[in-house]
């Protein structure tokens, strides 16, 4: 079947680190995206992994293991503005960048 799983909600304190896990079982795999979505706003692109390993971008890092069907997004030095939903998405086809399969999203709540 086709499944992308991520936790529903995570809570962390300002300044802390949070790791959002995503596991996937899809009919094809050509990369994994992480998007951030604040309430009432558009999802915004955070990261893209197509090869195994860690990609670091400032306070955000994303990791991929294709053999395990697993990715995580690491948010460091949490700030209040990081409170948002984080969406994991798989690109299943080689012929399309527009067709993504999304997980249900992880709501991250940052507390003072």
Partner 1 sequence: KAGVTQTPRYLIKTRGQQVTLSCSPISGHRSVSWYQQTPGQGLQFLFEYFSETQRNKGNFPGRFSGRQFSNSRSEMNVSTLELGDSALYLCASSLDNSPLHFGNGTRLTVT
Candidates 89, 90, 108, 110: give the one binding partner 1 (CB under 8 A): 89
Taking the complex as a whole, the smallest distance from the CB of residue 46 to partner 1 amounts, in Å, to 9
Q: Which of 11, 19, 93, 111 binds partner 1 (CB under 8 A)?
A: 93
Regarding beta strands 106-111 and 84-90, do their DSSP bridges make them parallel or antiparallel, or are they unpaired?
Answer: antiparallel
Q: Does the footprint of partner 1 cover residue 69 (CB under 8 A)? A: no
Q: How many residues bind partner 1 (CB under 8 A)?
A: 22
Burial class of 57 by CB neighbour count within 10 A (0 to 12, 13 to 18, 19+): exposed
Enumerate residues 6+ apart whose C-beta is below 8 A from 10. 18, 20, 106, 107, 108, 109
User: By CB neighbour count within 10 A (0-12 exposed, 13-18 middle, 19+ buried), where does 81 fall?
Assistant: exposed
105 binds partner 1 per the rule CB under 8 A: yes
Q: Which positions from 28 through 67 interact with partner 1, judged by CB under 8 A?
A: 33, 35, 41-45, 48
Question: Smallest distance from the beta carbon of 60 to partner 1, in angstroms?
Answer: 14
Binding site for partner 1 (CB under 8 A): 33, 35, 41-45, 48, 87, 89, 93, 95-105
């Amino acid at each position: 079947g086709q499944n992308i799983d991520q936790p529903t909600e995570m809570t962390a304190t300002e300044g802390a680190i949070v790791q959002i896990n995503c596991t996937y079982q899809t009919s094809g795999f050509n990369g994994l995206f992480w998007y951030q979505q604040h309430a009432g706003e558009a999802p915004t692109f955070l990261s893209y992994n197509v090869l195994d390993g860690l990609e670091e971008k400032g306070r955000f890092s994303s990791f991929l293991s294709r053999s395990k069907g697993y990715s995580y997004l690491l948010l460091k030095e949490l700030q209040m503005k990081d409170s948002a939903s984080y969406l994991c998405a798989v690109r299943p086809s080689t012929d399309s960048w527009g067709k993504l399969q999304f997980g249900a999203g992880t709501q991250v709540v940052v507390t003072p």
